[in-house]
């Protein structure tokens, strides 16, 4: 079982409503905004598609926020 990257999750929580680049383990990149968070999932607004998405925390492999890469 893959573990959650705490450094990436901390960066997402500290985004303060701003948009950030989100990279998934499936190779997808999304311009996202944090909506809500549970123990296992993160809900984000996908700016590319204009929809809300629910992603497993274990599938998030990286974040780009304020010209910095995490993960």
Tell how far CA 61 is from the center of its chain. 8
Rounded to a whole number of angstroms, the CA Rg of the chain reads 11
The Cβ-side half-sphere exposure at 24, using a 13 Å CA radius, reads 16
| 1, pLDDT greater than 80 | no
Percent of the chain whose predicted confidence (pLDDT) is above 90? 83
- The rounded mean pLDDT for the chain is 93
Q: Enumerate domains of the chain plus CATH numbers.
A: 6-64 (2.30.30.100)
| 9, pLDDT greater than 80 | yes
pTM for the structure as a whole = 0.88
How many angstroms separate the CA atoms of 49 and 37, rounded?
20
> What pLDDT is attached to residue 68?
86
| 3, pLDDT greater than 90 | no
Judged on CB neighbours under 10 Å (0-12, 13-18, 19+), 30 is buried
33 contacts 16 by C-beta, under 8 angstroms: no
């Amino acid at each position: 079982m893959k573990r959650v990257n705490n450094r990436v999750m901390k960066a997402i929580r500290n985004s303060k409503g701003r948009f950030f680049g989100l990279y998934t383990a499936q190779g997808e990149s999304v311009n996202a905004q944090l909506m809500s968070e549970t123990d296992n999932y993160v809900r984000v607004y996908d700016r590319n598609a204009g929809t809300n998405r629910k992603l497993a925390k274990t599938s998030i492999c990286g974040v780009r926020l304020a010209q910095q890469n995490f993960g």
